[in-house]
Amino acid sequence: MNVHDLPTPSLILDANHVETNLSKMAQALPGAALRPHVKAHKCTELAKRQAAAGHQNFTCATIREMEVMAEAGLGHDLLLANEVLDTSRLGALDARVTVAIDSQETLDAAVNGGVREVMIDVNVGLPRCGCKPEDAGALANAARKAGLSVRGVMGYEGHIVGIADREERERRCEESMVLLLDAHRQTGGEVISAGGTGTYDCNRWATEIQAGSYVLMDTAYRELGHPFVQALWLWLRVISVSEKYAVADGGLKCLGMDHGNPTLAEGKVWFCSDEHLTFAPEGKVRVGDHVRVTPAHIDPSLAYHERIFVVEGETVVDEWPIDMRGW
C-alpha cells in the first residue's frame, strides 16, 4: 500500500527515523541507564524495538500499560511511576513490578495488592505527585517495616525539561537533583530514577533516565536542539479551500494540543477545532491534497489513535496497534 492510499486522519511512522532515534539513544544511555517511558507511544511493537536496542527496563504510567507490557513478554523490570490506590491487578503479573509511593495510603495499597517492591516518589519542584524530600526516609522505613523492598527514589523534573535555554535547564536540573539526592541519602536503595527527553543529556545525577518522547519526537522537544529526528506525523487531507485558508480533516480529537498548535510544512496553522485543522497554505492547495502535520506533543496525540502505519519512503510496510490505550 502507498501512503496516499491510507485513510485520513492516520498516524504515520517513519521506520528509518525510528531506528535512527533508537541507535542515538542507545549510544548516549546504554542498557539500564535508560528506562524508556512507554506512555509516550503506548505501543508494544515499539517497546520491543527499544528492548532490542538494549533498553529492557521500562517505565509505565497506567496499570493497563503494566499489564500489556507483561503480556507481551516485556516484564523484565517494570516501574509504575505513578501513585495508584488499587494494585490488585499488579501483584499477580508475570513481571518484576515496582510501584511509586508517596504516602502511607499508597504504601498500604502496594501491600494490599501484593506488590513487593517500591520506589519513593519525591517532589523535586513539579507540583504533581511526590512526598517532601525530608519525608522520604520515614516513608522508606515504613515500607520496609511492612515487608516491602525499597529500590530507591524517583523524582521528575518535568517543570524543567522544556526550558529552551540549555544553561538554565542544566542549572535548574541540578537544583532538583540536589533535592532527590538528599532524599536518597535517607532512603537508601540502588536506584535514583529521574529525567525525561528534555534532560536526558544533562542529568548527571540519576542512575536511570525515564525518557520516552525521544523515539518519535514532537515539535516541543525538537526546539531544544536534541539529535533525535521527527519520526511520526499525522496524515490529513484538505477538505475545503477558501481564498486565504484551507481546512484539513483532523483536529482536537486526534492531536494533543496542550503544547500548542501542530505544525505543517505546507503552511501555518491558524487553529484546530474538533475535526478540522485550519491553516494558511504557502502555495496553492486543492481539495483532496494530503498534508503532513507534526504534533506539538506526542504522548496525548498517540492516545487518540488505535494504530500506527509504518512506512519506508511512501510504502506502507506494517501496521502497529496502539495496544496500551486506556486504563
Q: What is the 3 state secondary structure string of 80-138?
A: ECCCCCCCCCCCCCCCCEEEEECCHHHHHHHHHCCCCEEEEEECCCCCCCCECHHHHHH
Q: What angle do CA 254, 258, 264 make, to 5 degrees?
A: 60
At residue 263, does pLDDT exceed 90? Answer: yes
Q: Which of 309, 285, 128, 177 has its CA nearest to residue 232?
A: 309
200-224, pLDDT tens digit by residue? 999 999 999 999 999 999 998 988 9
The whole-chain average pLDDT of the chain stands at: 97
Distance CA 301, CA 233 (A): 10
% of the chain with per-residue pLDDT over 90: 98
Q: Which of 130, 31, 71, 70 has its CA nearest to residue 79?
A: 70
CA-CA-CA-CA torsion for 226, 231, 232, 235, nearest 10 degrees? Answer: 120
108-122, pLDDT tens digit by residue? 999 999 999 999 999
127-172, pLDDT tens digit by residue? 999 999 999 999 999 999 999 999 999 999 999 999 999 999 999 9
**Cβ atoms within 10 Å, residue 238:** 21
At residue 266, does pLDDT exceed 90? Answer: no
294-303, pLDDT tens digit by residue? 999 999 999 9
Q: Are 256 and 246 in contact (CB under 8 A)?
A: no
Q: What domains lie within the chain, and their CATH numbers? A: 3-11+228-321 (2.40.37.20), 15-217 (3.20.20.10)
Residue 4: predicted pLDDT: 96
**Cβ atoms within 10 Å, residue 179:** 21
Residue 114: predicted pLDDT: 96
81-95, pLDDT tens digit by residue? 999 999 999 999 999
Q: Are 129 and 153 in contact (CB under 8 A)?
A: no
219-246, pLDDT tens digit by residue? 989 889 999 999 999 999 999 999 999 9
Residue 265: predicted pLDDT: 86
Residue 291: predicted pLDDT: 96
Distance CA 116, CA 119 (A): 11
Residue 39: predicted pLDDT: 98
Residue 52: predicted pLDDT: 98
What mean pLDDT do residues 297-323 have? 97
Q: Which residues fall within 8 angstroms of residue 261, CB to CB, at 6 or more apart?
A: 269, 271, 272, 296
Number of C-alpha atoms within 13 angstroms, CB side, residue 200? 28
Residues making up the chain, counted from first to last: 327
267-287, pLDDT tens digit by residue? 999 999 999 999 999 999 999
DSSP states along 281-322: ESS---TT-EEEEE-S-HHHHHHT-SEEEEEETTEEEEEEE-
